[in-house]
Amino acid sequence: MFVDSDDWLKEGALKNCYEELEGGNYDVLKYGFQRVVDGVYGEEIVSSFQEGIYDRDKIERIILPQIVGPFQLFNYDINPLKSAWSGIYRRQFLQENNICFESERIILNEDYLYTLSVMLAAKNVKIIHKVYYYYDFRDGSLSKRYIKNMLARKLELHKAYERELNKYALFSRYEKEYYSSCVDGFYACFTNECGKWQSHSKVALQNVRSILNMAECQKALIKCKHNNLSFKGLSIYLLMRFKLAALMMFLYRRR
């Protein structure tokens, strides 16, 4: 089990997890979390997958598509819980498959890569909709400040995703999901440049244009799953596809 330094577990979480695991030989148990914003307990979030036990076939059909890439681009309400701290893992399973974390200095969202490696190797997964983890969402967290070298670290994450999928000969099966993940990564880099923490608009605009002009970005936009987008999602997609950086920045900062 993993707990970030500024987060904590619900009282009785370990006992409850033990009871959930007792009698089974599960590789992974996934549970929900609750956001705590400035000391105020907020929304409880559970997996977008139904509760139950998933064998290898169900993992490949149901879980992996959403772990590789988003169910719907630019829709962050559908949460498959890709953070490593939203689960407990059988130690022998991790050791046998040599699953460990990559350096966050090289790869951004190393949790996502860890979870992908876990789901690619797991024989079974148990998902419950009980909340055992408290996530402290503070002003100093990575999700609320400018991230240096974000693009380079996202590109390394994309490469690592591709390597993992190829290791299991599954890249072609999840190709659209993979490129959707890449688009999501490029969009995250865009929001990083346009957030309220970035005061230099000209520099931000130049950086956004550089991102949208990248061959990797345009390739991902062409190959991703973009036939199920909401109106908002389609608008973002078209702005990215036609490299309308200035309009993207204007609309994002006025939202």
Q: What is the pLDDT of residue 5?
A: 93
Average pLDDT value for residue range 246-254: 88
Whether residue 142 is predicted with pLDDT greater than 90 in this model: the reply is no
Q: What is the mean pLDDT of residues 156-167?
A: 98
Model confidence at 139, in pLDDT bands (50, 70, 90)?
Answer: low
Q: What percent of the chain has pLDDT over 70?
A: 96
3-state helix, strand, coil in the chain (%, to 5): 50, 15, 35
Confidence of residue 229 (pLDDT cuts 50, 70, 90): very high
pLDDT digits (tens, 9 = 90+) for 51-107: 999 999 999 999 999 999 999 999 999 999 999 999 999 999 999 999 999 999 999
Contact 187, 240 (CB under 8 A): yes
Distance from C-alpha of 31 to C-alpha of 9, rounded to nearest angstrom: 11
pLDDT band per the 50, 70, 90 thresholds, residue 197: low
pLDDT value of residue 143: 52
